[in-house]
Chain A
Amino acid sequence: DTAVSQTPKYLVTQMGNDKSIKCEQNLGHDTMYWYKQDSKKFLKIMFSYNNKELIINETVPNRFSPKSPDKAHLNLHINSLELGDSAVYFCASSPKKRTASYEQYFGPGTRLTVT
């Protein structure tokens, strides 16, 4: 029944490692997003992905790369992890843009800790 799911819920890893976070939505939505929420609770968009169109926030380091095997999945891969990457990462999805149905549904979040 979960609308937007993420795995893992918690991820602890060392600097320099490469890790992935998976996201799946069963809502049939067209657009998926990745957000980063830092320790000050500021929620910042990283990527949006709509029908194979990827829009990247220009402030996101290229160590971060989204990968979408299909419309229901948008995974986040992070290379060479740094201490500053520690945050909660939220996946979200929404129906087609520019329609009346626009709200974003968020996954439960993945708390990443880099040591």
Chain B
Amino acid sequence: GQNIDQPTEMTATEGAIVQINCTYQTSGFNGLFWYQQHAGEAPTFLSYNVLDGLEEKGRFSSFLSRSKGYSYLLLKELQMKDSASYLCAVVDWGYQKVTFGTGTKLQVIP
């Protein structure tokens, strides 16, 4: 089975740094995605981690520890437009399966 946990909501201040955590317990694992979803819109890809460590891409970074079943998304220099839901998803290519967590709704305040 697949179990993916994320905090439901977070609030952070414009210009600050926020870390969104994701823990998973899955029967198969080939990688972990992070997606951003603004209200009423489709999810858009942010990052994909296969190996342990930190992957940096502009203001966004994603970290993975496979032994701990843990990932986080780090958002720096927060902007108001970063207010959105952030979805963690585990992929098991053996079953062509992508399992999403329930998402973390981030609110950025002035």
Which A residues contact B (CB, under 8 angstroms)?
Answer: 31, 33, 35, 40-45, 48, 50, 53, 55, 57, 90, 97-98, 102-109
Q: How far apart are B48's CB and chain A's nearest CB, in angstroms?
A: 6
CA distance A44 to B44 in the complex (A): 16
Q: What range describes how many residues of B lie at the interface? A: 20 to 34
The contact of B43 among A55, A98, A106, by CB within 8 Å, is A106
Residues in A with CB closer than 8 Å to B98 are 33, 45, 48, 104
Name the residue on B nearest A42 (C-beta). B102
For residue A33, which residues in chain B have a CB less than 8 angstroms away from its CB?
Answer: 98
Q: A43-B100, A45-B97, A55-B95 are in contact. Are A102 and B42 (CB under 8 A)?
A: no
Known contacts A103-B33, A103-B48, A107-B42; A40/B102 CB under 8 A: yes
Interface pair A108/B42, CB less than 8 Å apart? yes
Contact of A105 with B45 in the complex, beta carbons under 8 Å: yes
Q: State whether A45 and B99 are in contact (beta carbons under 8 Å apart), knowing that A97-B93, A98-B93, A102-B48 are contacts in the complex.
A: yes
